[in-house]
Amino acid sequence: MAELKTKRNDQSVEAFLNTVDDEKKRADSFKILKLMQEVTGAAPQMWGSSIVGFGSYHYKYASGQEGDWFLAGFSPRKQNLTLYIMAGFRRYDELMAQLGKYKTGKSCLYIKKLEDVDMGILRKLVEESVETMRGKSK
């Protein structure tokens, strides 16, 4: 079975975020850091070389593959700020309708800049996703 490449490690989150070239994206990253830390109550940790994750849960697939992953996380990518909403988006239609300007993947929320979204709604989305994931990992 293939081993997961993206793992929790001891790299410095602050040092990583300070390498973000774009000043606005760097400032937005520190705001997301604060929001996710408040919501999860967990210290930020690097996962792989470019993802900041908070908390963790254990998963096991029917295939037998299992591992640990973060409850919530983000990565300041070149094109977007990518927020990892591990519960996905299907159950959050009402919140998504109020969020603002964004794109989504399966569990990824892509935002150009934080001023494009309602921060209160973003916080609620992260809170509900974390609550859902904590319920699944019990």
What are the structural domain ranges in the chain? 10-59+66-136
pLDDT digits (tens, 9 = 90+) for 38-75: 999 999 999 999 999 999 988 787 888 778 889 999 99
- Give how far Cα 31 sits from Cα of 38, 41, 93, 101, Å: 11, 15, 24, 18
Architecture of domain 10-59+66-136 in CATH?
Alpha-Beta Complex (3.90)
In which band, very low, low, confident or very high, does the pLDDT at 1 lie, cut at 50, 70 and 90? very low
pLDDT of residue 66: 79
DSSP 64-89: S-EEEE-SEEEEE-SS-EEEEETT-S
Closest CA to 52 of 60, 43, 65, 41: 43
